[in-house]
Chains A and B, each alone.
Chain A
Amino acid sequence: MKAHLTRRYKFSASHRLHSPEFSAERNQEIYGKCNNPYGHGHNYKVEVTVSGQPDPATGMICNLADLDGFVERVVMPRFEFSNLNELDAFRDVVPTTENLSRELFHLFRSQFQLATVEKVRIEETMLNSFEYAGGRELGRQ
């Protein structure tokens, strides 16, 4: 039977929401406090969901140590204690958590090959969360 495994990680990073498409006043109007030129930070919680048939030899969709290792090796060095605006991915993209969830989904999807990456969900704060499944509508998960 197919199973969907979700693992939760966290990292802290800062960002500033500002779009060169808009005037300074319009940016202020749209992004409010998030437009503060010095930026601000969040403790992001990231959930990644992988799916597949558990391997009969191990009972696992993929070895959790491999998923944790991937996050440790590839994801954390890039995001932990970073300023998101400085990252290549956000040079021309506003680092909203919508865009962060897309970026992380594509990073997992393109580089973690040991299971099907279904979805990334990010809690920016306890009150906001964002989910991205590669553009697919969310149903069974």
Chain B
Amino acid sequence: MVYLTRKAEFSASHFYNNPKLSPEENQRIFGKCNNPHGHGHNYTLEVTVAGKVDDRSGFVMDLKQLKEIMNREVIEGLDHRHLNQEVPEFRDNIPTTENLAIAIWNRLAGKLNGAKLHRVRVYETDDLFVDVYGEP
């Protein structure tokens, strides 16, 4: 088994707010991230696929295809978007890095031309990242 990781970057804005909670409670839990006008990040996405190396091509997966799939499924919908306003997964779901990584996993799982998605890692900043492995 060989693990292949491809990176991509996207920039997006978001804010954290739970409409079921009072403004004071939202402010207490989310602090600065509760600013209703939002704020943004340069996110870095790392997608790791796992597989056997094909004898003929020497590839686990064609990187060009992986790049295209990541662009089509993830980057086009998220780059330079407001996550709360424009991305369907966050209509009723707070766009934390945890939920963003899970949403990206769900967008990619089963769409990698038969390659096995191993890990999605999303860096919100250099000092904060989330990994998901599709564990229930």
Contacts and interface: CB of A to CB of B under 8 A. Distances in A.
Contacts of B135: 1-2, 140
A7 B132 contact: no
A61 B21 CA distance: 18
B125 to A, nearest CB: 9
A4 interface: yes
Contact of A4 (B29, B94, B96, B132): B132
Interface stretch (A12-20, A26-34, A52-60, A86-94): A52-60
Interface stretch (B59-67, B71-79, B97-105): B97-105
Given A1-B102, A60-B96, A63-B29, A7 B20 contact: no
A104 B126 CA distance: 21
Nearest to A54: B98
Contacts of A4: 130-133
A8 to B, nearest CB: 4
19 contacts: A1-B105, A1-B132, A1-B136, A2-B132, A3-B98, A3-B101, A3-B130, A4-B132, A5-B97, A5-B128, A6-B129, A7-B128, A8-B128, A59-B99, A60-B96, A61-B98, A63-B29, A65-B31, A140-B133
Closest 3 CB pairs of A and B: A59-B94, A59-B96, A8-B127
A64 interface: yes
Contacts, number: 67
A141 interface: yes
A3 B119 CA distance: 11
Interface of A: 1-9, 54, 57-61, 63-65, 140-141
B35 interface: no
A60 B98 contact: yes
A57 B95 CA distance: 12
A58 B96 contact: yes
Nearest to B135: A2
Interface in B102-126: 102, 105-106, 119, 126
A61 B94 CA distance: 12
A141 B128 CA distance: 14
B128 A59 contact: no
Contacts of A54: 96, 98-99, 102
B81 to A, nearest CB: 17
Contacts of B85: none
B91 to A, nearest CB: 13
B94 A6 contact: no
A5 B129 CA distance: 6
